[in-house]
Amino acid sequence: MSEMWINMGPQHPMTHGLWNLRVKIDGEMVLDVDPEMGYLHRGIEKISEDRHYNEVITLMDRCCYVAGFAWEHLYILAAEQALHIRPPERAEYLRVMSDEFQRIGSHLMWYAAFVQDLGLMSPFLYGMRDRDLVLDLFQAYTGARLTYEYMRVGGVRNDVPPGFTDRARKVLDWLDDRYREYDALCMGSTIFRERCDDLGILKANDCVAHGVTGPMLRAAGVRRDLRKDRPYAVYKQIDFDVAQADAADVTARYLVRMEEMRQSNRILRQVLDWLDHHPGPMMADNLPRWLGAPYAPIGNEGYLLKRSYPKGTGFSAVEEPHGEACAYVVNEGALHPYRVKFRSPVFSNISAARQYLVGYHVADIPPIMGSVDVCVGEVDR
Amino acid sequence: MTEAKTSDGENAADNPILYVARPMATAARQFAKSLRRPSTIVYPYERLEDPRFRDQVAVEPGRPIGVGQVWDNYRGVHALNIATCISCNLCAFSCPDICIEMVTVPGDDPKHPKKCPQIDYGKCSYCGFCSDACPEGCLTMTTRYELSTPHRAEMVYSPQKLNEVFRSKLPMNPIRLELPENEDRILLDPPLCIGCNACARDCPTQCITMLDVPRPDAKPGEKLPKRIWKEPVVNDSDCVRCGTCISVCPKECLFWGSRP
């Protein structure tokens, strides 16, 4: 047989977004792969240098369109460190609550897309249906379903509405039942197991060598979770376990994500209980004038000249649903960040595609890439 | 550390009957549920923001999905109350996408025309910064979300069109941000002021008054600066902190600061 290159993408059911996977095949066997990114590049890092600190938040929601809260939290943590601001505790709990609901929402979205890659249509509908409940919760307190713009430098925009925590607990109870149902549908099915077992193996040392993080790393038997290893916000005070599996294949990644959703439920129950009993302010009270309000009106340039504001840099790392995301913000004392840099976990995860795709069949590519959980919005930024 | 495994704990792959029967049983259960009432609604004819769904939506099988009262602070198309707008420009300044332009609306006083926001929904990202910034609460966001139009020019909503949205009495976003206690104020650098009255003239809330300052006696040989002997005094409780006075000041003698 002769070898040939084929393009899977930029428009292909496998890609889940706008990127191209070039595959070199010989018959059915994959000999080489070449991931091509950049179709969705919007220059978010450069645009950020032209916006006030709070206005960058609107870009963060569009960085990853299924995990907007994780990216908001990432940027806010770095910006607060650069500006020497400490948010009130209740705002931190609200951020953690948003983060964990976002993790559930993102993993449900992944579940729906992944099983659809395998050709299972009914679980896809169940996953999307249950994700809608999480989006409804977001809409109840932020006012939007996908682009939240909820966190602010120094706190969060508003408190949750009355009765919210009870409704959220109802959703968690409902989701607990659904996880059991997903397992019965997928892990209980021979077809699913035979399709996914021993597929797309990426061992722990390869993960570390290529910077692969998140559920893929944990599925390879490495216990690494930034919420435990480098606790941010209030994760230190919350009791939860790190999901882990050893097989390093597609099934292991499925199991890790399912376990993470159960752990998110556990975290959320503790956070909702805390929120019920600890009212408090939403914003830090020592904010400078041009950050205290959500706007930065004119005259501020002169204001900053008249009283110099401390400079600084901020670095933050957050366990995003897809992996470890990092942000670096440089504050040179102006109204805008001097430089913003993001590290996207999915970029590293799909850059290592050659390691876990070569040697399998062409028909194995959709399930393997599905188990990576690609979100092109944050790959290209 | 927990080992990720299936939630029931047993290994279904050992029992061939189980792993054919169990997925089928789950699918059959779901099918039976969907016969009672679908999880979706018939969108153009039914709408989730409809008040009759407000108490019906629930996290239960056989009901339309939703958690109830999710539309209370939805961020959709803006509603503008032209009558209470003070033309302070804060919405336009706070907009990250620069989609708000202040345009003149016909008013009572032809000499001092009123300026109100005109919003280009082709650019708007619905972040809500403008309604958060509005000090009078006249620019809010409603539950309207249907904006499709065949012409791009129709995406630009004039103040009059936004006022029609306001008159349609849609539910409005109730969230109002509170200004912090130690809010900074407009301060004056007196030696620079020439008493030109520009700040008091352009202040949208009329909170600046020009008060007389005593004219010092000129010493022999000294030349007094050429100026009007008046100075602005800001009424902090009426001030909305829009910064208009700072931007119009020709001598840059007004600035932000905290008063002791």
CB distance A158–B175 less than 8 Å? yes
Q: Which of A57-61, A71-75, A161-165, A213-217 has the lowest mean pLDDT?
A: A161-165
Identify the pLDDT of residue A101: 92
Nearest C-alpha of chain A: how many angstroms from B218? 31
Whether pLDDT at A188 is above 80: no
Nearest C-alpha of chain B: how many angstroms from A118? 15
Domain containing residue B243: 185-213+228-257
Search chain B and give the residue with CA nearest A60: B127
Identify the pLDDT of residue A271: 93
Secondary structure letter of residue A308 according to DSSP:
P
pLDDT in tens, A272-314: 999 999 888 887 776 765 564 444 444 444 444 445 567 889 9
More confident residue, B192 or A326: A326
Whether the model clears a pTM of 0.80, i.e. scores above it, the answer is: yes
Identify the pLDDT of residue A297: 45
CB distance B27–A245 less than 8 Å? no
Identify the pLDDT of residue A267: 92
Whether pLDDT at A344 is above 80: yes
- Whether B109 is covered by a domain: the verdict is yes
More confident residue, A64 or B18: A64
Q: Are residues B196 and B163 in the same domain?
A: no
Q: Which of A58, A122, A296 sits opposite B127 (nearest CB)?
A: A58
- Whether B60 is covered by a domain: the verdict is no
- Whether B116 is covered by a domain: the verdict is yes
Q: What are the residue ranges in chain B where pLDDT is below 70? A: 1-16, 18-19, 23, 34, 36-38, 51-72, 108, 111-112, 173-184, 258-260
CB distance B179–A126 less than 8 Å? no
Partners of B177 on chain A (C-beta within 8 Å) are 157-158, 293-294
* Average pLDDT of the segment spanning A9-27: 83
* Average pLDDT of the segment spanning A358-368: 88
Domain boundaries, chain A: 40-353
Search chain B and give the residue with CA nearest A187: B6
Nearest C-alpha of chain A: how many angstroms from B214? 28
Identify the pLDDT of residue B62: 44
Domain count, chain B: 2
Q: Are residues B103 and B162 in the same domain?
A: yes
Secondary structure letter of residue B172 according to DSSP:
B
Q: Are residues B152 and B200 in the same domain?
A: no
pLDDT in tens, A114-147: 988 888 887 888 888 888 888 888 888 888 888 8
- Whether B112 is covered by a domain: the verdict is yes
Q: Residue A353 is which amino acid?
A: A
Identify the pLDDT of residue A93: 92
Q: CATH homologous superfamily of domain A40-353?
A: Cytochrome-c3 Hydrogenase, chain B (1.10.645.10)
Under 8 Å between Cβ of A140 and B67 = yes
Q: Are residues B84 and B150 in the same domain?
A: yes
Best mutation target, B41, B60, B67, to test chain A (most A CBs within 10 A): B67
Alpha helices (H) in chain A, listed in sequence order = 44-48, 57-63, 68-83, 89-117, 121-142, 164-186, 190-196, 204-210, 215-219, 226-229, 250-277, 289-292, 300-306, 345-351, 353-357, 365-372, 376-380
Note the ipTM here.
0.76
Identify the pLDDT of residue B119: 92
Identify the pLDDT of residue B6: 46
Nearest C-alpha of chain A: how many angstroms from B162? 20
Under 8 Å between Cβ of A204 and A248 = yes
Identify the pLDDT of residue A1: 63
Identify the pLDDT of residue A290: 57
- Whether B2 is covered by a domain: the verdict is no
Q: Residue A308 is which amino acid?
A: S
Contacting A residues, span 203-232, partner chain B, CB-CB under 8 Å: 223
CATH number at residue B243: 3.30.70.3270
